[in-house]
Amino acid sequence: MHATHDPAALPAPEIAFDDFLAVDIRIGTIVAAEPFPEARKPAYKLTIDFGGTIGMKRSSAQITEHYTCAELPGLQVAAVVNFPPRQIGRFMSQVLTLGFPDADGKVVLFHPGMPVPNGGRLF
């Protein structure tokens, strides 16, 4: 999660269905979470397994308010896997892990209500 979003913001402009299809959102399982003390905003470094064709990817996620590094491994999360990698300090974030703001604007990870196969694409 790289940007702070205003929960009261107006809806985004209408887009074509093909625009939605261009964003590749996949499910993966967090296999490791580490502190990221050199990040400007509190964050963790995540390693996420997206299965066969995509494999392991890394992500910086500003999720320290609701999660500890110890509880994250094993949690399935959704991420955009086709944005270009983003350099954050000396860390290369390869995917954008998705979440929603709580009432205070703190990130709550977006994840399925039951286990699904890693690599599955959102539709």
19-109 to CATH, choices 3.40.50.300, 2.40.50.140, 3.20.20.150, 2.30.42.10: 2.40.50.140
Position 88 pLDDT exceeds 80: yes
pTM above 0.75, yes or no: yes
The pLDDT of residue 2: 45
Average pLDDT over residues 44-57: 97
Identity of the residue numbered 76:
Q
Q: What tokens were used for 33?
A: 């979470």
Rounded to an integer, what distance in angstroms lies between the CA atom of residue 88 and that of residue 58? 12
8 Å CB contact between 59 and 108: no
Average pLDDT over residues 111-116: 95
- The DSSP symbol for 90 reads T
Position 7 pLDDT exceeds 70: no
CB-based contacts of 102: which residues, under 8 Å, 6+ apart?
66, 108
The residue ranking higher by pLDDT, 31 or 123, is 31
H/E stretch holding 46 reads strand 44-49
Rounded to an integer, what distance in angstroms lies between the CA atom of residue 53 and that of residue 67? 28
Give the closest residue to 61 by CA, choosing from 80, 53, 10, 123.
80
- The DSSP symbol for 85 reads P
Position 94 pLDDT exceeds 90: yes
Place of tokens 């929603």: 100
The residue ranking higher by pLDDT, 45 or 38, is 45
The pLDDT > 70 percentage for the chain reads 93
Average pLDDT over residues 105-110: 95
Position 3 pLDDT exceeds 80: no
Chain centre to alpha carbon of residue 11: 21
User: What are the residue ranges spanned by the domains of the chain?
Assistant: 19-109
